[in-house]
Chains A and B, each alone.
Chain A
């Protein structure tokens, strides 16, 4: 079955070599051999179709024409032994806690800047730093990060590293649930003899965390009215919004469904106006309120920011989180952990070079063939150079870009991203994977067991983003007793 499979010099999640699986994949590996390639192929088709039929799609825009696509699903799960997971879980809680303290700090006293840990200009020149809009506010639990999506990778030694923090509007949680759902529908046999952490109660955890964010002036603190604010059905992550609103039992609203009167937010219902206490927004800061941000925005709600500032409504994730999750600030997160928590980071970063720094820039320009260069403000795998895979021309283009706007870019060593087998087109082949871990916080933090494993299904590709051909896998966290088998 996997006899043609090559692990090469990469760390493979499942296989030690083509004959021998890692201990925690042993059961799964045995199970696989009970299926013929034809049956696996047929099941694969069924699984892909199931996503399409259910309309679990994201919209890709090119030339302003939107096409609905499904994220390809690969059935080989990423299995994580409980010991590994416990470390990840601690590492994620630690990281989000530090990031939240950082946000609270820079929107208040800015001690971390005054103490010289983080350069002032890195904060103040950040386009997502909203001093005027978000400074000095007393928000519920001083919590800025209701839902974080932290992207992890593993290097060639199998060491987990944080690749990116997403503290604004991380998407993809619905896929975690749908991947599991489809997996159970189409491949029930594969679950036998595995004891894995269930996802059943996770959405009620999310709901609990959400409704803790009661604003100071709420009239119904016991039963706050929470809504999910979506840009609408043309947004690429609309399915995510629908799913979360539905599962949490909260209203899915668009900007035009809300109105602010006397600094109080209401939604427009068939019985008139109904006061809203908590907004889980999936609209970026810039578009939230045309009075306070981009005046051209038609997605937002006029006057929302004033209502927020007055404590009449809670908005999560908080306004201005973007200052903490861009690719330049990323490099300082280990320092934040040391500064605020007096702890060493449990899950390390990927080494990062600042191109604003003359010495580091010189090094990077000399080693563009070996490095990955990223725009600090871009996401989704755009405006990115992968040195070892790039043509000379492309490298030359990035050289110009870096010289022109050094502060706009960072560089990182090309990590040999771990791989896992994928089964597409009737055969197994190795693909690079990463893992988005979701951390939900209210009065305390909770990490969703597993997360969204993303896989670069194009052979050899390093880009896992769904907009660029990436797919998803189910992620199994083994229960402690489950590891006894392994």
Chain B
């Protein structure tokens, strides 16, 4: 079978949209929990700002709403059809992508996304309780994870599978860098050794769904160096930047049967450069500013990879990522 460029593009974006929805749902979930213990209005506002930052919606939100109000933010992040990164939009795009590739993907993936879509009208979008929102976020997480489970357990490790996985890892790597950037920004403003630091690094781990994995490797004391090392460089942690980059590289290498042709040369070169940047960077020697510079640079690299990847396989112009 030949893989149509349009189909490959849809598979790639289905995976990205689904991963994005899951990550954004988690960001909102973590914040809703944090909110319960926050006692300071200023801290609360700042936390909400971070949720918007992580879900890549801050500037758009601010252009429409003068102040940060939790109900408005929840609505904006979860439901707003004008917010291209809203959960409903990401899930709807993922379903559309799945619908366009129904003849390729496992039936269970389509049925899961379709079920979510069919249940959408029953979800209350205003006057919601926190409990309802948490249920909604949970459904998204389960839909995403079930889809990944079906993909892992039934799909042939061929071209379609590769495009799905590449989409997922690129989205994940970029989001992990974004989350760390937001947390670093916060830590930078605080004095060293402030009690809040513990709380920040804990949040970082929760936002990347890495807390459980982390405490199996390190003592539950939140050491900034340990956390950063874990999230950026740990090659065994499947949400770390290093892991995602390695796996994108490996998958493309297999896709090309280990051969580098003229059309794929640029992609390989770029990936090698990024791999080098990630492995050679030295956390111990860096200031917070330098680290943030690195994370910014890495996010730009992800956008670059997405573009070169699309060009290499003649995919349709990628949607601009904000």
Contact = CB atoms under 8 A, between A and B. Distances in A.
Given A233-B100, A242-B102, A246-B102, A267 B4 contact: yes
A274 interface: yes
A53 to B, nearest CB: 6
Given A233-B100, A270-B314, A53 B5 contact: no
Contacts of A257: 4-6
A252 B103 contact: yes
A271 interface: yes
A33 interface: no
A256 B100 CA distance: 13
A107 B102 CA distance: 38
Contacts of A245: 103
Contacts of B8: 270
A214 B116 CA distance: 43
A249 B1 CA distance: 9
A268 B102 contact: no
Interface size class of A (residues with CB under 8 A): 20 to 34
A251 B110 CA distance: 18
Interface string A227-239: 0000011000010
Given A55-B110, A55-B111, A270-B159, A233 B96 contact: yes
Interface string A248-287: 0101111011000000000111111010000000000000
B2 interface: yes
Contacts of A233: 96, 99-100
A52 interface: yes
Interface in B1-37: 1-6, 8
Interface string B65-96: 00000000000000000000000000000001
B314 A268 contact: yes
A201 interface: no
Contacts, number: 57
A360 B314 CA distance: 60
Nearest to A249: B1
Contacts of A252: 103
A54 interface: yes
Contact of A270 (B5, B96, B110): B5
Contacts of B315: 270
B6 A254 contact: yes
B118 A251 contact: no
Contacts of B6: 254, 256-257, 268
Contact of A251 (B2, B99, B114, B314): B2
B3 A269 contact: yes
Nearest to B6: A257
16 contacts: A53-B115, A54-B111, A55-B114, A242-B103, A245-B103, A246-B102, A249-B1, A251-B1, A252-B103, A256-B6, A257-B5, A267-B4, A268-B6, A269-B2, A270-B5, A274-B2
Given A254-B6, A269-B4, A270-B315, 19 more contacts: A53-B111, A55-B102, A55-B111, A55-B114, A233-B96, A246-B102, A253-B4, A256-B6, A257-B4, A257-B6, A267-B2, A267-B4, A268-B4, A268-B314, A269-B5, A270-B4, A270-B159, A270-B313, A272-B314
